[in-house]
Amino acid sequence: MGLVHGERAMRSRFVVLCALIWCTWLHLATGFYLPGVAPNDYRQGDRVALDVNHVSPRATGAKNRLRSVIAYDYYYPKFHFCQPADGPKAKSESLGAILFGDRIYNSPVELYFLRNTTCNTLCQAHIPADDARFINGRIRDNYALNWLIDGLPVVRDVGHFSHDELSTPNGPPVLGLELGTAAAAGAKKEAYFNNHYEIRVLYHQVDATRYRIVGLEGVPQSKQSLVDGKVTCDTSNRMVLSESSDSTVAFTYTVVWVPSDITWGTRWDAYLLTYDSQIHWFSIINSMVVIIFLTGMIAMVLVRTLRKDIARYNSMEAQEDLQEDFGWKLVHGDVFRPPAHYRLLSVLVGNGCQLFYMAVITLLFAAMGFLSPSNRGSLATMLLCFYVFFSVAAGYNTSRIYKMFGGSQVKRTIALSALLVPGLIFLMVFCLNFFLIGSHSSGAVPAGTLLAVIDDWFYLILTFLQLYGYSQ
């Protein structure tokens, strides 16, 4: 007994010693940037990469309705966008970014820091009538191009970023540059294809030679740039892709560098700022009134029922052998009886605990600033990692509840917990992936990513089985 107390005392002294050592190191603490979110410094004349993401539908109208849910790769052959001289190269992305449909490639757009250019020609594309019909359909469905510079997505509305301070006079920023515009022309909307882009890059000067990018705006325009075989941007004629004959399109762009007082640390505020943040008091009061009304009705029914039962019990003779249970006493012992399918209940409760812990810890990390928006896909990746990690909690709660109900087949129950909910989710994603592949969508998950998910799934099963060994 004395040996046990001695070991406990030694452990307590060790913990206190570690705490004291940790406190003495507090003065050495310094700030740091998380991997992938450190600022990039540029100098005048440096090459700035413009990356392109998928072409995706954008919500329109007062109700923000989507007309389509299929996104396409930027270099999908039917779009005929200009490609780099050595071909497009995919950027390395996280697992979460791939699962959420990001497909980022390099682009042939050449930007050099603080070097304004006008009407640069990217290429000339020959668009057949069938592809023109496809593009016009995507224009009418309000598809948009998603460009990135230094991790910042392009914003459509020019003037959204003020040069002196961050201001948002026109509401939330509109992400992406529309593929084209559709105007009513008789019974069918006329589609105008945007082939000229004005790129406005906002920068902040750190010192005499270093600069940082703090904003990206763009204005797409439709121009009939080819005039007598020459490319010109000084034209008011709009580009219309013919659906009955082939068309030739010249892609051009203009680059403007704009100084700004927005710092690098606040450049995401325009994207993350909450708009229309007024409290909807009427909806809150309406919900509270409904809850109070329903609670009162249920309370009245229960009180009347219990009052009648208690009165009947008090009026009966005290002969327990002749007395029969009725009313609420018929079910008062059901809470101590196991349900009919307690194995399934145990599995669902365990997986629910797993999802709850995953959500809470992910929100905690996000509130602490570990999930930067510049690190694309970090939120989804963190969710997947915590989902796998908290499989221990799912296995523990599943086995604990199953044993509480008197179950004896713990191994089979733990295996079911590892297979049922993740298996249903994976089966649903796998089936939907075939539809996305058939639609040539960029949202289709590649085979390598699916194998990585399956690998995590098997790790989940092994964790459950190991947990069973520790729980005995």
Kindly give, in sequence order, each residue whose CB lies less than 8 Å from that of residue 98, ignoring residues fewer than 6 positions away: 377, 445, 446, 449
Question: Can you tell me the distance from the alpha carbon of 338 to that of 343, in angstroms, rounded to the nearest whole number?
Answer: 10
Q: What CA–CA distances, in Å, run from 61 to 10, 58, 65?
A: 69, 10, 7
Question: Can you tell me the distance from the alpha carbon of 139 to that of 144, in angstroms, rounded to the nearest whole number?
Answer: 8
**177-178 vs 188-193, strand pairing mode:** unpaired
C-beta of residue 343 within 8 angstroms of C-beta of residue 8 = no
Domain extents in the chain: 47-272, 336-471
- Three-state secondary structure call for residue 380: helix
- How remote is the C-alpha of 286 from its chain's centroid? 31
Q: What is the pTM of this model?
A: 0.77
Question: Can you tell me the distance from the alpha carbon of 28 to that of 87, in angstroms, rounded to the nearest whole number?
Answer: 48
**247-259 vs 196-205, strand pairing mode:** parallel
Residue showing tokens 């002196």: 164
C-beta of residue 102 within 8 angstroms of C-beta of residue 54 = yes
Question: Can you tell me the distance from the alpha carbon of 263 to that of 270, in angstroms, rounded to the nearest whole number?
Answer: 12
**211-221 vs 196-205, strand pairing mode:** antiparallel
Render each residue's pLDDT in the chain as its tens digit; 472 residues.
454 455 455 555 555 555 555 454 444 444 444 545 678 899 999 999 999 999 999 877 655 678 888 999 999 999 999 999 899 999 888 888 888 888 999 999 999 999 999 989 999 999 999 999 999 999 999 999 999 999 899 988 655 555 444 444 456 778 899 999 987 654 467 889 999 999 999 999 998 889 999 999 999 999 988 887 788 888 888 999 988 888 999 999 999 999 988 888 888 888 877 666 667 788 889 999 999 999 999 999 888 877 777 776 666 655 554 455 556 666 666 777 888 888 999 999 999 999 999 999 999 988 887 887 778 888 888 888 888 888 888 888 888 899 888 888 888 888 888 888 888 988 998 899 999 998 889 888 888 888 888 877 777 666 665 555 455 4
Kindly give, in sequence order, each residue whose CB lies less than 8 Å from that of residue 198, ignoring residues fewer than 6 positions away: 218, 219, 220, 221, 253, 254, 256
